[in-house]
Chains A and B, each alone.
Chain A
Amino acid sequence: MEHIVIIGNGIAGVTAARHIRKLSDKRITIISAESEFFFSRTALMYVYMGHMKFEHTQPYENDFWAKNRIELVHDYVHTVETDAKKVHLNSGRDIMYDKLILATGSISNKFGWPGQDLEGVQGLVSRQDLEQLEISAPNNKVCKRAVIIGGGLIGVELAEMMASRQIPVTFLIREKGFWSGVLPMSNAEMISRHVRSHHIDLREEEEMAEIIADDAGKVKAVITKKGETIPCGFVGLCAGVRPRISFLENSGIELQRGIMVDRHLETSVKDVYAIGDCAQQRDPVGERKPIEAVWYTGRMMGEALAQTLCGNPTEWNPGHWFNSAKFFDIEYQTYGWVWSKPKEGHDHFHWQHADNKRAVTIEYDLGTRKFIGINTFGIRMKHQVFDQWLTESKTVDEVVANLNKACFNPEFFKRPFQEIKQAFSSSQHVKA
């Protein structure tokens, strides 16, 4: 029986395993050093905030794996020997494979900042990061201030986590507005204001120069590039993530920033595949980046690879881009592409409610009026409807006129679409 070995039990590896089991009777083994059972990484923040216990982050009951004949090995892979089709574990055990799936995920970026390896300096990606966080920043007595570096999705989550324990936060971001490399400026500014309204000391266009230690080798303060010293007990490194691939350096598998894969998610070595955060596409799909550290991408790659491995060669062919996040109290969803600045020949339509918590930005083509993408804040939208509109190349006018049909807000919520329509038509008059 063919043995499929998966390294990593995050969403990519586990989805691949589940789908291979649905499609076949192959032997499946998942190896993970991080945790015994699959848990949802996105929920780590809620464990720290006391919304959930760690066990609640596990989507399947513990007997699920045995029931589905998925073997779990709680160990660390230190090398992969592709010639012998073998992985070596820290425990000394070797596991032979017929097909190997690398789904090792990410680690936090470090850019060589002085002091980046001090005690009390970390990112937030793994279960171990959370455990470390409980030691470094359990409360506002042990940690009198936290400094968070990098205005992305993990940074804002970490800020919310700290705030839930009344730890004062200074949040340094390089850009002019929160996540403004991705969000259009008016969206970014609205989120910046919202983050500040939660008593976060948000500093835009500010970067960290170095981290200084106290006598015990623990973080004491951060010095910014502008020369300010900010005393703190914790530094969160949230300037993005990169693939966790160092153990593959001598494996013969072609690596760049990530593990190079073709459109069938196969690496340079036969029978070795890579999915999720650690995979790097030789030919990026459409407007997508070659490496996507996104939950949904990991899940979908797992689904696609399971097909390939079960006799139905399937190219990685993701559909229309979508994503979501939550910034403190503001939910964000996006469908299609909205760039921080409209692409050439495109324009943005912005609408924002007076409450500063709801907004819509739509990118569209000025010539053809084709709808390119939408960002919504504080308004839930139906994925399926937008997916269909994007496939059918609807015009921006059709989309704005029919926003109500795409609304996924709970019952009795106010729907601001009339206001949006009016704002849109007056913006078009101004242009005309």
Chain B
Amino acid sequence: MFLSIENYITMSVYQRNMSLTGEPPKALNTTEKIASAIGMVGLFILILAFFNVNLPWKGAWLTAALVLISGGIIAFARAQYAHKQAGIKNDGVWFKDLSSRGFWGWVLAIFLTSFYIVLYFFPATLGQGTDGAANTGLIGLFDPLSYLLKGQAASQWFVYGTLYTVAILSFGIKFILKYRHNSYEVIRTGSVMFFQTTFAFLIPEIMAGLNSTKDLPYYDLKNVWPLNYYLFEQWNVNALLVNGSLGMTMLLFGVASILVITPILTYKFGKRWYCSWVCGCGGLAETAGDSFRQLSDKSTSAWKIERWLVHSVLVFAVISTVGIVHSYLPKNNIYKIWEDGTVVKQYETFFTQSNFLILVGVGLTVIFALIWIFRRNELKQDARYGAIGFLFTILAFIGIHFMAGTENLFFFNHGAVKSAYGFLIGAVFSGVIGTGFYPILGNRAWCRFGCPMAAILGLQQRLFSKFRITTNGGQCISCGNCSTYCEMGIDVRSYAQKGENIVRASCVGCGICSAVCPRGVLKLENGPLEGRINSEAVLLGQEPDLMELLSNNKK
């Protein structure tokens, strides 16, 4: 929601930097000003609520606020794009203060960052009632909607979820208007809007209100472990299991998501099926974050940092999850569930601590061995880094085994490791930095540098997927639009100008490189595995054997 501000200040402030930048095309026109005012009024209602101004008929005020905010965003987008012909709409992106890390970009970044800090760490400030007290302030304003959907009072996460959904829907409409000439973008955006509204918002909230399902924990089925890092934590697993077969089905679906569904879909379509078609983080980045995609760092050093960081987070996530699951599994094969100190059930289980560790260890070894054997050439020296990560993980498992019986995961308390992950990765990285810094680091900083799910999908996309971006013969003019607008910081041009396919682990398949290419050079495709990685590609144009000669000479 706060993201909606982006639009309102976007057009009003420009900067002049370097000798080769220019003047603004225009200030806000009348329609844009009216749209801004409408949105600001909606925002103002939320601010009033935040400062505990007593608003009667909360339901009406909340409705007004949300309608005005989304109406303002959509009206602004219409004023920006509707009168123009369908086509690329990047005029003035680097002149606008907000979208080029100018003053207002920093103001917005600080504002968003503060919002996330308050949301994660000081929910009382937002009016979260504690110990049964009624909500006040901003969260109180959302009570009527929460009661309507699930018959309970709102929480900070309900407020966040609602605003998040409103942002994806409103900015999604903006994005569709902007890229209306491009069917891929239109359909893809429809998809993230759908998944956010239903899977992330309506279904879990409504389920929480139904008698038969109200005891189920909030579960966004499309939020796959390890992105959903608490899926296998004890409280969540227990909460699912006490709900009988429905809970069990959901838990199994969670396991199947990462072990079966994800690999199949990634094999067929690349990681884009998730990252830019389904995922909520990706959905926000693609819609509300679209104005900042050009800010991602394209340098090779950023790429290096990305690979170390994102894979370290993955290792951290795996070890942390395994450690946590291990801590609540029984030592021997009698498994009991206590409730209020009484044994409710008692049965034999295969999932003892050591069996679990062995199972995961063997699973990882098989995966690693398969990669090592079949994809060694594609990996080159990255394989060695992968081996380090693998070795580290296995050693960690051995460590976990020997620490069993103590409260520790290595030398740290289990709870401490869990909360460290939740704090560092779940809150600070994905929220405060990932979204708060949209106007500084670009809209995919979290997805690129931090998301363990993206790391898994990326490994698979690089090694075992039909997806690639193909280039068109010799048509590239090295203009750099593709690289500039790649939100993942991939230097797309460096491949296109050599005629190489782009097969990068980080590519989320948003399709913007292909859209902005003025010469029709790039195409996202699913095709055969053979010849997918063509680092010895030739540029078309002349006597073909000339380039053949070049590659022969190199050998």
Contact = CB atoms under 8 A, between A and B. Distances in A.
Interface of A: 11, 19, 22-23, 40, 42-43, 46-54, 56-59, 61, 127, 130-131, 134, 138-139, 164-166, 197-198, 295-296, 299-300, 303-304, 307, 310, 312, 314, 317-319, 322, 324-326, 328-329, 331, 333, 380-384, 387, 408-414
B95 interface: yes
A408 B540 CA distance: 16
Interface in B521-543: 523-525, 539-543
A52 B94 contact: yes
Contacts of B94: 50-53
Interface of B: 18-26, 85-88, 90-96, 181-184, 187, 299-300, 472-475, 477-481, 483-484, 493-494, 497, 511, 514-516, 518-520, 523-525, 539-544, 546-547, 549-550, 553-554
A165 B23 CA distance: 8
A19 B19 CA distance: 32
Contacts of B475: 296, 322, 324, 333, 383
B21 A53 contact: yes
Nearest to B17: A53
B40 to A, nearest CB: 26
Given A51-B90, A413-B184, A326 B480 contact: no
A52 B544 contact: no
Contacts of B547: 303
B27 to A, nearest CB: 11
Contact of B484 (A52, A197, A296): A52
A295 B477 CA distance: 7
Contacts of B539: 299, 303
Given A412-B184, A413-B183, A47 B524 contact: no
A164 B520 contact: no
A299 to B, nearest CB: 7
B542 A318 contact: yes
Contacts of A329: 85-88, 181
A314 B473 contact: no
A84 to B, nearest CB: 33
11 contacts: A43-B480, A46-B480, A49-B90, A50-B95, A51-B484, A59-B497, A299-B474, A319-B544, A331-B520, A333-B519, A383-B475
Given A139-B24, A410-B182, 7 more contacts: A23-B550, A49-B91, A51-B94, A317-B546, A322-B474, A383-B472, A384-B473
A195 B88 CA distance: 15
B550 A319 contact: no
A47 B19 CA distance: 11
A319 B544 CA distance: 8
B479 A40 contact: yes
Contacts of A54: 18, 20-21
Contact of A408 (B21, B472, B493, B553): B472
B412 to A, nearest CB: 40
Contacts of A127: 20
Q: Which 7 A-B pairs have the closest CB atoms?
A: A383-B473, A329-B87, A380-B520, A43-B479, A412-B183, A139-B23, A50-B92
A54 B22 CA distance: 11
Given A165-B23, A296-B474, A410-B524, A56 B300 contact: no
B22 A48 contact: yes
Contacts, number: 194
A164 B20 contact: no
A48 B518 CA distance: 16
Contacts of B90: 49-51
B520 A165 contact: no
A380 B518 CA distance: 10
Contacts of B480: 40, 43, 46, 52, 56-59
Contacts of B524: 410-411
A324 B517 CA distance: 12
Given A49-B91, A329-B86, A413-B184, A304 B478 contact: no
A40 B299 CA distance: 18
B511 A410 contact: yes
Given A52-B480, A326-B519, A387 B87 contact: no
Given A40-B478, A296-B541, A47 B86 contact: no
Contacts of B472: 380, 382-384, 408
A47 B23 CA distance: 11
A348 to B, nearest CB: 22
Contacts of A139: 22-25
| Central interface residue in A296, A318, A410, by most chain B CB within 10 Å | A410
A296 to B, nearest CB: 6
Contact of A317 (B514, B523, B543): B543
A383 B479 contact: no
Contacts of B299: 61
Nearest to A328: B87
B167 to A, nearest CB: 25
A137 to B, nearest CB: 9
A131 B19 CA distance: 7
A297 to B, nearest CB: 9
B546 A53 contact: no
Nearest to A333: B520
Contacts of B20: 47, 53-54, 127, 130-131, 134
A34 B88 CA distance: 30
Given A53-B94, A319-B544, A410-B511, A59 B478 contact: yes
A244 B483 CA distance: 31
Contacts of B181: 329
A198 B479 CA distance: 23
A363 B174 CA distance: 42
B84 to A, nearest CB: 9
A300 B497 CA distance: 12
Nearest to A319: B542
A10 to B, nearest CB: 11
Contact of B540 (A304, A319, A326, A412): A319
B478 A11 contact: yes
Contact of A52 (B481, B511, B541): B481
A410 B543 CA distance: 29
Given A380-B520, A413-B184, A312 B549 contact: yes
Contacts of B184: 410-413
Nearest to A165: B25
Contacts of B514: 410
Contacts of B478: 11, 40, 42-43, 59
B21 A50 contact: yes
Nearest to A11: B478
A333 B540 CA distance: 15
A318 B546 CA distance: 10
Contacts of B484: 51-52, 56
A119 to B, nearest CB: 18
Given A42-B479, A61-B299, A411-B184, A384 B541 contact: no
| Central interface residue in B87, B92, B520, by most chain A CB within 10 Å | B520
A331 B522 CA distance: 13
B550 A22 contact: yes
Given A43-B481, A296-B541, A331 B518 contact: yes
B546 A164 contact: no
B8 to A, nearest CB: 19
Nearest to B86: A329
A383 B525 CA distance: 16
A199 to B, nearest CB: 10
B190 to A, nearest CB: 11
A304 B22 CA distance: 39
Contacts of A307: 546, 549-550
Contacts of B520: 324, 331, 333, 380-381, 408
A319 B86 contact: no
A409 B520 CA distance: 8
A12 B480 CA distance: 18
A11 B539 CA distance: 14
A117 B248 CA distance: 81
Given A22-B554, A49-B90, A312-B549, A59 B542 contact: no
| Central interface residue in B21, B480, B524, by most chain A CB within 10 Å | B480
